[in-house]
Structures are given as C-alpha cells and as structure tokens.
Structure 1
Amino acid sequence: MSQPRNMQDYDKTYAEFQWPHYETYNFSRDVIDRWAEDPNKLALWWVDDHQNEVKMTFREVSEAAQKFCNVLQSQGIGKGDVVILILPRLVEWWVINIACLRIGAVVSPGTTQLTAKDLRFRLQTAEAKCVITNETLAGRIDEVIGECPTVQSRIILNSHREGWLNYHEAMVDASPEFPAVDLGANDNAILYFTSGTTGNPKMTVHTHTSYPVGHMVTGKYWLDLTPDDLHWNLSDTGWAKAAWSSLFGPWICGAALFIHHNDRFDPKQTLEFMGKYPITTFCGAPTIYRMLVLEDLKAYTFPTLRHCVGAGEPLNPEVISVWQEATGLTIRDGYGQTESVLLVCSFPAFEPRFGSMGKPTPGFDVQVIDEDGNILPTNREGDIAVRVKPNRPVGLFKEYWKDPAKTAAVYRGDWYLTGDRAYRDEDGYFWFVGRADDVILSAGYRIGPFEVESALLEHDAVAESAVVASPDELRGEIVKAFVVLAPGYSPSEALVKELQDYVKKVTAPYKYPRAIEFVTSLPKTISGKIRRVELRNMEWKR
C-alpha cells in the first residue's frame, strides 16, 4: 500500500487548514511562471497513437502562452472577454488555457461532440468574442456564425479556412513576452455550461481568485501530487474534470501531466501505457475502471503507479477490490461538481470504506441537512450542503451567469445545496444516495433530461416523451426514454434506431437514449407535469 505524501493525519489537517487569501491572483504568473524558474521542470508529456511525442517544460508553456496572449490581443480579445475553446487533447489546449488566464479572458471549454445547435446556443448566450477549435468543428460553427454577432475572432488549428486565423501561423511572429494581468475576486475566469433538469444548460461562472486556488486541495490532498509525479487523467477536455485533474490540481503541485491523444478509449492500450511510461498517479471515471477490470490485469505491470483516484459517479466496491488485488492500490473516490472543487473524498490518510464517498475536504464544512437547513443526525438521509455563511469557502462558483433566480435556488439559509442526497455514518463517512433532481450521470457525463426530451419531441413520430436514468452495469446510469407515439406510428426496433439517430444529430451524441420504451401514457401531476421520479423509481426497482 502506497504511503500518502501530503496528508498524514486527516483530522489534524482538516482542523488546522486555512485558505490562502489573495487580493490579486493570476494562475499563469503565480503558478506556471513560478515553476518555470527551473528551465528544465517538465510540465507535460504528450503522446498520440502514431508514435508522436511532445515534451514541454513549464518555461516553454509559459512562453507559448505569452505568445498566444499577444495573438489574442491582436484580435481585440482582452480582460473579461469570453473565449469558447473546443479542442481534443492537443498540447495547444493547455497553452490556450494558460494564455486566457494570463490575459484575463474568460475561457469556456466544450466537448468536441457539440452540434451546430449546441454551439450556436453557447456562442449566443455567453456573448463570446472568440472561438478556437479545429477543422472538425469549424464547419459546424460556420453554419451558425451568422447568428452570433458578438464573435469577432475565429481561430483554427492545423488547417486553413476562410474567415479563420491559423493558430500556428499567428504564433510564429508573436512576442514571447506578455505581462500577466492582475485579477481579483470578482473577475470571471472559467465559464462552464452544465446540464440541469429544465431548459438549456446553465452557465456556471468561476473567478480567478477562487477556482484555481481552490484546486490546491484537489491536487495536494486527493491526487496527492508532488513535483516528482507524472499524472495521467482520462477526461474529455470539455468537462470541469479536466480543470480539476489535467490543469489546476497537478500544476499547482508542480506535477507533470501525461496526455494521450486518441480517438476513443482503449482499455488494453491504457494498461500497456501504465507499464511503458513512468506514470505515478492515475485518475479515471468509474466507467473507465469498470472497463479496465474486465481485462486480464495479471498480464500487465504497474511499475511506477502509486496512487489512483476516481470521480464523476459512485464507484462499485467490487471494482475497487479487483483493481486493488491487481495493483495493490485502492481507488480513492472524490466528490465535487462543476460548481465547486473537491468537496468530499476518501483521502489517502485514512482507510476507505468501499462504496462510501469519504469525508469532507479541508476548507469545507460539508453536512447533510433537512428542508429547513438543520444538520441531520447520523444515518438520516438529506441534502448534501456546503456552509457559505459567515465565510464563503474558496472554490465555489460565483453564480449562474445571467440567471439570478437559478443562482438563488441553490441556497438554503447558510448553505449551498449540491443537488445530491446522502447520509453520514457515526464515523463521519458520507454515503451517496442519489440526485435530488432528475439529472442523469452516465459514464461521467452529466445529462439533463429536458434536452433529450426536447430533441425527441422534434421528431414527427413522438407525441410525448419522458427521460430518466436507468441503471447500467458499465456506465452506472444510461439515458432511457419513455415515448408516447403520435397517431399513425407503431413501435418497432427500426423506429427505436431512427429516434436514437435523430437525437444524436440534433444534440450531442453522448446524450442519446440508449434505451427507449414505448408507452401509451406518462404519469403526471394534477397540473400536468410529467412525474419523472415515478418512472425513475420504476427503473431502479426492476
């Protein structure tokens, strides 16, 4: 069993922890430039499936980011301007993130699976001034750019396209010097789009002095990183998890990132890489681990691996046991949200209880509360909440941008509500019960039922639809749709596939319903609202 590096005594660390306070902060200057003082300090090690490798030091990352700051400035992009960034795991994704932070722009990452409709919504709603992507998505953006009047700059990688600035050509003559902008508590840094139960995705805003600083606990205490580590996180660059474990957490600790750029996840290749490269720490969604343990783990070696974590959804105890038997390492669950940094975790300093979420993160007062905001006694189910009064902890989001009503709805007295439910045992361990709302957590993806229902209703065959989470052994949950057909249509396997393909086209492919059940009616309230909870409970009792 590997010994923890950064937390030896959980109770002592939790009791004594204090957040650092910054009047002004710039992650590019205060973290990247600091590590760049050592010209040989490795920042990232990138590989692809074609024997290509790139290694960059912190100094090289800093210089490249400063050059891109000058490119952004030449395009009229500066402090407070929203930059939509949609790229796969390419080195430029990291450089561009650091540049946006340095210049004070608001970076808004997105998955490469977004459709033209998704992109139009994001560009319009965020009032984006700049969009950066590759040839794959540039065409989709060009389909809707006429409806996005705030966009004044389009930057493309590895290609040439009319109306777009080529990233690499623009970098050639750019100056490698750009002074970091001083940024304060109200200056927006990151803008995430996160699915809810109703309507379009919400815009979750984080600030410069809160979110990057808050991931100090992510990197130090959960990932257990030091400057000697090579950390590998398997996460889509469009999700907050990439910021957690592929950017802020590791680089605050001076750890180097291992990055594998490929088209799809390959469990055999992943296991081979753990023996081929000196990877010391590993982070993956529970779905990843479920796929890894299906392989013959005895056929692989893990010579440098010392620490493993998982996040995104609860991890099955049996998977943890199989992985532990093969590697000698316990997968440490971490819990948090797009709206936060790490909130609860099975930290390396104490024995985990398989299936438990762990204990609260230093710097956060996390409790299970009732409807009146009272802390519940042990073993009583309630809402997971974070105390925000009288002192708001570092790492929580600023607001749902342009939506004060939704922002206000997630607070109850002195508490911020995570939207999840749990209970706490006599020893302080949290045990996840489920979402308080209808959001579906599938293979690490957060999917709002409204978006899928809306897509289905656009099809002529669908009169009504209700979408819920259905249990799945591999993905944890899958999207299931209950569909009432319009007159003239009959249930068939062909129609199931047609509806699935249709949803893939009009919304991001990962959101499509993997299961469709045709029904004659849907359960509803007296006021006519669909009772998704009834359908969900039925699914989980099967």
Structure 2
Amino acid sequence: MRLTPSAHVDTFTRDGLPPFDQWPELLLGARDAAPTRDRPGESPGPGRLNCGAELLDRTAARLGPGRPAFRSGTGEVWSYGRLREHVDALARALTERLGVVPGNRVLLRGPTSPWLAACWLAVMKAGAVAVTVLPQHRPGELATLCAIARVSHALCDIRSVAALAEARVPGLRITPYGGGGPDDLLTLAAAAPGPYEAVDTAADDVALIAFTSGTTGRPKGCMHFHRDVLAIADTFSRQVLRPEPDDVFAGSPPLGFTFGLGGLVVFPLHAGASSLLLEEAHPRQLLAAVTEHRVSVLFTAPTAYRAMLDELAAHPQAYDIGSLRRCVSAGENLPAATWHAWYERTGSRIVNGIGATELLHIFVAAADDAIRPGTTGLPVPGWQARIVDGAGAPVPDGEPGLLAVRGPVGCRYLADPRQRDYVRDGWNITGDTYVREADGYLRYVARADDMIISAGYNIPGPEVEDALLAHPDVAEAAVVGRPDERRGEIVTAYVVLRPGAAPGEETAEALRAFVRARLVPYKTPRAVVFLDALPRTPTGKLQRFRLRQGG
C-alpha cells in the first residue's frame, strides 16, 4: 500500500500511522477520494482533497452562497457566503499570525457554536489536524490528550480557557476567541480578510484526531483522513439519512464526539443544508429548538428520546415538533419500546445506528420501511459486517459473537500497540456482541468489554476506578454498569473503604465530588455501593460479572 505525497510540513501524524500490515481492509470505491468538478463528492481514486474546501467552498459554489449554513440558539443565521468569509479569515489568522503549518495539531475547545464549527473548518482548510475536545474535560485529561497528540496550538472559547491553562501543557499556544481583546482570535481574523486558498492536502493526509478512552489505560487517538470525512457523508448520510438542502439539523452530541461532528457539521454542509448549533441541548431545550427553528433532522441518544417523551406527555401543548422528518439515535442501544413509544407519539421513525470513534460515524443502520425495531439494522451501503468468535471465525446466524466491520473508513490509532486488538484479519472488531438474523439484520446483545454506555456516553470503568483509588479513604474500587431504564446503564462504583472511614451517603457524595473534580462529570458514579471486600477468584482476579449481577 502506498500513500499519496503529503502536504504536511509537520509529519507527526503520518509518522504515527500504524504499519500497513495492521490496517483494516478498506473498501474503496467511487467515493473514497478527491471529488471531480462535475460530480461533487465522487471520484475514481485517491488524489488531492481538502475536506474543508469540499464541504464549504464546493457546496457554496454548487448551491449558492446565500443559503443558510449555521444557526445559533439566539436566532443568528450565517449564510454559506458569510461562513466562508469567517473561515477564510480564521485560516489566515492561523497561518499568518499564529504560525500554524500544515500537519500541526490544533486543539479546539468550547461549547457547540457556529464559531467552534468555523474554527474546525479553518483548521481543515489550513491543512492542520483538528483535535476537538469537550469543554467539560478536566486539566489532567487535557494534559494527557495534548501530550499524546503533541498539540502545539489551541483555539479556545474564552469561557473554557481556565482549565486548559491549568493543564500547563508545555509549549502550547492558547488563543482564546469571544473575549474581544487584541489577541483574541476573532480580532486577529478581522484583521485578515479576503479569500483563503485551501492547502492542497492529500486525500490520505490526517485531518483530525478523535480520542476514545477504551476500557483500560491511556486514551487512544483515532486518526482520520480528509477522504474519511467525505466517506461518512457519502455512505450513512447520502445512502441512509438522505438529507435535503432545505433541512435544518440539530442535536445534542458535542463536536468533540464524532457523532456530533458528522451529524451537526459534515452531513448538513455536504448536503447544502443548515445546522442549528446549540450550546445547551438537553431534552427540553431540544424540543423547544425543534419548535422554534423547525428542525427537520435530529441527532441524539435513546436516553434523550425517552426524556423528550416524558416532557411531551407532561406538556402536550407546549411543543410543535411536526417539522421532524428524520430522527437519528446512536451512542447506545435503542430499545424497541422506546422506538415504538416515539413513533406512536410523533409519527416519526427513529433511525437506529451504531458507530464508533475508530470508524468515525455510523456503519450499521436502517431507515424508513427497512427499520425493524429491536435491531440496529443492516450494514450501511459501502460497509460490510459479520459476526465472529474470539478467534475471528464467522459464527452461524442466530448465535452471538463479536461484531466485525469493514468499509471505506478504518481504525488507525496514533502510535498505539492496541491497534492489533481492534483490527484483526483486516476487520475492525468493535467490542460489541451481536447476533445476525437469517435475513441479515443485526441485533445488539451487549458490550464485550468493560465499557459502560450511559445516556450515549462511553465510560471506561477502569478510568473511574483509578480516580476513586486516588481518594485517601478508598482501599479498593470496582466500577461497572448497572442496567437502567432511562439511561441504558448507570455508572455504579463498588467501594471498599480503609479502616476508620464510615460508609454512608455523606461518604458516597464526597467520593462523587472527588471523581467529578478529576474527570468529565458524566463519568461520575451515580450509585456507590460499599462492600467489605470485592468478589475475586482464588487467584485474586476481580469477578466483575458478579458485580454486574448485583454482588
């Protein structure tokens, strides 16, 4: 396998790619690389491609710069032409004032907003590599992510600067935006107007690093190419979601999650549609946004759909969500009962899907008449899936096994030996246990590892354990997921206290606060159970299955 000559001056990401013999097999077809001029989004083979230019410049040229692109919760609307002006000015500021060169890693941090999305597009056009993180990440987490990706620059909403500064990342140049000072990114951009010609990146130059914690140890950086960004739009979005230029997208996942990046930036721009970018997108706020802005495509998790059903039942006259024509669910398994309840209440059929940070977005789903509640669906066109045993051999239909997939996007961890665990015999092993029905439909069974999936968030139990064990009163800790009707699972901590520490709600709340100060809040245990000892085998191995069964 050969890569196209890179445009990156800073070659860190290409140098950190796994060896070719550890790559998954890629199913590359007519949509895997640089688009042609007469068929936007399509081409016969690899070449030069800048996904920022394709999503923004090419769409504006194709459908006109006057169409709405981004909307804010305050009612502000940016056209494609205005968005392009902002992005070009930001890209000039990045390269001419801040010294960013192609291949540099640029961390993006802030609430979901048009400015955060514009920064992402500017990083793409400048040929740099975006590392988008959550505004809730704590200083220690930020320091780790920056160290792994060797981040040199950060563009940070002024409201999210404090924790990043506290991380004390060596050599990191932090540029705030939204504060109005002379060194503010928006001030620098205002002084650098005019068109910006996107860097002529290779289709297989790394465009972004998305982090996933996995179930143990150090976070893993998932590297995705410029062509990958368009591949998810040309597969799930174009083939299953089928958006239209007049659609208005909205949803709850932040842009630091690839579920949110695809659903709120890549897919609407690829289709020439618009996206409502909300800083706060809890279920009640989503319903209000759909009502006010006539949202037609919604992305969120099953937990939010259940909460919105409760809100609609409690306040049936408060919301008008008749504009919805596409509802997408991912992040955790969608129960059939939730699907039916939403359909009965709204008349809208939820498109269930499974994706992974390693694969950028959704690769199994079904829409319209192909939907079968209780299953995830079928492989998205352009993707293949099979169910295998622990040795990688296919298992018969009807029997549970590990979900293995391959398609136009594959797992490429940044300089990480765990690449061999995720990619086996050319297939991506997602860590999910599935059953394939005789007619090809895929039905979720459970996670095959220690990942807890709560309200759509992936939470590695061992990471929460490490945080608990740092507390002086904790002798042992084990963290597992406990089934929960509303959230799918809740983070449940089983704790053995040191002598002298008293079990009880006061101690439990103190432990929650301790974890909350060190990790993103959604990883905080919702339930804390005190035990005299953790269940172990005669050899001392922790028996997590007993904890999942209630002790």
TM-score (norm 1): 0.89
Matches within 5 A, 1:281-292: 281-292=297-308
State the match for 1:445 in structure 2.
Answer: 457
- Specify which of 253, 259, 265 is matched with residue 247 of structure 1: 265
List structure 1 segments (4+ residues) > 6 angstroms apart after TM superposition: none
* Contact 2:69-2:79 at 8 Å conserved across structures: yes
State the match for 1:305 in structure 2.
Answer: 324
Matches within 5 A, 1:181-220: 181-220=199-238
In the TM superposition, residue 325 of structure 1 has moved relative to its aligned partner by 1.5
Residues 417-456 of structure 1: per-residue CA shift (max 9 Å, x gap): 1111100111211110111110111111111112111110
Q: Which amino acid aligns with 1:28?
A: G
Q: Which amino acid aligns with 2:287?
A: L
- Specify which of 318, 332, 348 is matched with residue 351 of structure 2: 332
Change (3 A) 1:252 1:114: same
Q: Secondary structure at the match of 1:198?
A: coil
* Contact 1:385-1:417 at 8 Å conserved across structures: yes
In 1, the alpha carbon distance for the partners of 2:207 and 2:506 equals 46
Residues 2-37 of structure 1: per-residue CA shift (max 9 Å, x gap): xxxxxxxxxxxxx99853433111112222111212
Whether 1:505 aligns to 2:517 is: yes
- Specify which of 364, 388, 391 is matched with residue 383 of structure 2: 364
Aligned pair count?
506
Q: Which amino acid aligns with 2:523?
A: K
State the match for 1:457 in structure 2.
Answer: 469
Whether 1:55 aligns to 2:68 is: no
Whether 1:25 aligns to 2:41 is: no
State the match for 2:171 in structure 1.
Answer: 150
In 1, the alpha carbon distance for the partners of 2:180 and 2:191 equals 18
In the TM superposition, residue 188 of structure 1 has moved relative to its aligned partner by 1.2
* Contact 1:221-1:347 at 8 Å conserved across structures: no
Residues 202-230 of structure 1: per-residue CA shift (max 9 Å, x gap): 11111112233333223223332011211
In 2, the alpha carbon distance for the partners of 1:209 and 1:237 equals 19
State the match for 2:68 in structure 1.
Answer: 42
TM-score (norm 2): 0.88
Residues 168-192 of structure 1: per-residue CA shift (max 9 Å, x gap): 2111111322211122244111111
In 1, the alpha carbon distance for the partners of 2:104 and 2:29 equals 34
Q: Which amino acid aligns with 2:48?
A: T
Whether 1:400 aligns to 2:413 is: yes
Q: Secondary structure at the match of 1:261?
A: coil
State the match for 1:8 in structure 2.
Answer: none
In the TM superposition, residue 526 of structure 1 has moved relative to its aligned partner by 5.3
* Contact 1:154-1:165 at 8 Å conserved across structures: no
* Contact 2:433-2:444 at 8 Å conserved across structures: yes
Q: Secondary structure at the match of 1:192?
A: strand
Change (3 A) 1:525 1:170: farther
* Contact 1:215-1:395 at 8 Å conserved across structures: no
Whether 1:296 aligns to 2:322 is: no
In the TM superposition, residue 408 of structure 1 has moved relative to its aligned partner by 1.2
Residues 471-520 of structure 1: per-residue CA shift (max 9 Å, x gap): 11111111111111112212111100000010001111111111011112
In 1, the alpha carbon distance for the partners of 2:48 and 2:429 equals 28
In 2, the alpha carbon distance for the partners of 1:109 and 1:212 equals 18
- Specify which of 500, 518, 521 is matched with residue 530 of structure 2: 518
In the TM superposition, residue 266 of structure 1 has moved relative to its aligned partner by 4.7
State the match for 2:16 in structure 1.
Answer: none
In 2, the alpha carbon distance for the partners of 1:337 and 1:499 equals 31
State the match for 1:68 in structure 2.
Answer: 90
Residues 221-279 of structure 1: per-residue CA shift (max 9 Å, x gap): 333201121112221222111112011122112121122333x6252x43233233222
State percent identity of aligned pairs.
31
Change (3 A) 1:304 1:523: same
Q: Secondary structure at the match of 2:49?
A: coil
In the TM superposition, residue 159 of structure 1 has moved relative to its aligned partner by 2.1
State the match for 1:11 in structure 2.
Answer: none
Change (3 A) 1:160 1:301: closer
